[in-house]
Structure 1
Amino acid sequence: MSIHSVRRHQCNLAWDNSIAPVAHVESGDTVTFDCIDASNGQVQRNSTVASISNMIFEQLDPVHGPVFIKGALPGDTLQIDILDVETAGWGWTGLIPGFGLLADEFTEPGLKIWKFTEDNKFAWFDEAKGIKVPLRPFPGEIGLARGVPGAFSTIPPYNTGGNVDTKFLSAGSTLYLPVEVEGGLLSVGDGHAAQGDGGTAIETPMKLTVRVTVRKDRPYTKTPHFRTVVGQEDAGDYYATTGIEPDIRDATRSAVHHMIEFLVQRFGIDRKEAYILCSVAGDLRMHEVVDMPNFVVGMLLPRSLFPADSD
Structure 2
Amino acid sequence: MPELIFPLDSKKKFTDQAKIGHNRWHPEIPPVARVKPGDSFRVDCREWFDGAIHNDDSAEDIRDAPLKTVHALSGPFAVEGAEPGDLLVVDILDLGPIPQEDSGPLAGQGWGYTGIFPTKNGGGFLTEQFPDAYKAIWDFSGQVATSRHIPAVSFTGITHPGLMGTAPSPALLSKWNAREAALIATDPQRVPPLALPPEPQDAILGAVPSSEFDRVASEAARTAPPRENGGNQDIKNLTRGSRIFYPVFVSGANLSLGDLHFSQGDGEITFCGAIEMGGFIDLRVEVIKGGMETYRVGENAIFMPGRTDPQYSEWLAFSGVSVTLDGEQRYLDSQLSYQRACLHAIDYLTAFGYSPEQAYLLLGAAPIEGRLSGVVDIPNSCATVYLPTAIFDFDVRPGASGPFRIPQGTSAPRASFN
Pairwise same-fold verdict (TM > 0.5): yes
Shift of 1:121: 1.6
Shift of 1:47: 6.4
Q: Deviations over 1:47-82 (max 9, x none)?
A: 621211222110122211100111000010000000
Q: Distance in 2 between matches of 1:249 and 1:212?
A: 35
- From 288, 295, 304, give the equivalent of 1:227: 304
Mapping for residues 48-87 of structure 1, pairs under 5 Å: 48-87=58-97
Partner of 2:5: 5
Alignment partner of 1:184: what SS?
coil
- Partner AA of 1:203 in structure 2: E
Mapping for residues 17-56 of structure 1, pairs under 5 Å: 17-46=27-56, 48-56=58-66
Moved segments of 4+, more than 4 Å:
126-129
Q: Distance in 1 between matches of 2:87 and 2:7?
A: 25
Q: Distance in 2 between matches of 1:176 and 1:163?
A: 15
Shift of 1:26: 0.9
Mapping for residues 1-311 of structure 1, pairs under 5 Å: 3-8=3-8, 9=17, 10-46=20-56, 48-87=58-97, 88=108, 89-98=110-119, 99-117=123-141, 120-125=142-147, 129-148=151-170, 149=173, 150-199=219-268, 200-216=273-289, 218-219=291-292, 220-221=296-297, 222-229=299-306, 231=309, 232-233=311-312
Q: Deviations over 1:176-231 (max 9, x none)?
A: 10001110000000010001111220101121110111112633223111112463
Partner of 1:300: none
Q: Distance in 1 between matches of 2:290 and 2:305?
A: 20
Shift of 1:3: 3.1
Contact 1:141 1:189 in 2 (8 A): yes
Identity rate, percent? 32
Alignment partner of 1:58: what SS?
helix
> Do the aligned partners of residues 224 and 24 (structure 1) sit closer, same or farther apart at CA in structure 2, a change above 3 Å counting?
same
> Do the aligned partners of residues 129 and 54 (structure 1) sit closer, same or farther apart at CA in structure 2, a change above 3 Å counting?
closer
TM-score (norm 1): 0.71
Task: Count how many residue pairs are aligned between Structure 1 and Structure 2.
Answer: 239
Q: Distance in 2 between matches of 1:229 and 1:56?
A: 32
Contact 1:23 1:66 in 2 (8 A): yes
Deviates more, 1:196-205 or 1:129-138: 129-138
Gaps of 5+ in 2: 9-16, 98-107, 174-218, 314-332, 336-369, 373-418
Q: Distance in 1 between matches of 2:127 and 2:282?
A: 34
> Do the aligned partners of residues 38 and 197 (structure 1) sit closer, same or farther apart at CA in structure 2, a change above 3 Å counting?
same
Contact 1:62 1:154 in 2 (8 A): no
Higher RCO structure (Cα 8 Å, ≥6 apart): 2
Deviates more, 1:120-129 or 1:23-32: 120-129
TM-score (norm 2): 0.53
Q: Distance in 2 between matches of 1:95 and 1:158?
A: 23
Alignment partner of 1:12: what SS?
coil
- Partner AA of 2:250 in structure 1: V
Shift of 1:110: 0.8
Contact 2:91 2:283 in 1 (8 A): yes
Which structure dedicates a bigger proportion of its chain to strand? 1
Q: Distance in 1 between matches of 2:50 and 2:149?
A: 28
Partner of 2:395: none
Shift of 1:93: 0.5
- Partner AA of 2:143 in structure 1: K
Gaps of 5+ in 1: 235-247, 251-283, 287-311
> Do the aligned partners of residues 73 and 167 (structure 1) sit closer, same or farther apart at CA in structure 2, a change above 3 Å counting?
same
Contact 2:240 2:306 in 1 (8 A): no
> Do the aligned partners of residues 159 and 43 (structure 1) sit closer, same or farther apart at CA in structure 2, a change above 3 Å counting?
same
Shift of 1:129: 4.8
Contact 2:165 2:256 in 1 (8 A): yes
Q: Distance in 2 between matches of 1:113 and 1:130?
A: 14
Deviates more, 1:142-151 or 1:161-170: 142-151
Q: Distance in 2 between matches of 1:96 and 1:151?
A: 24
Contact 2:136 2:149 in 1 (8 A): no
Alignment partner of 1:107: what SS?
coil
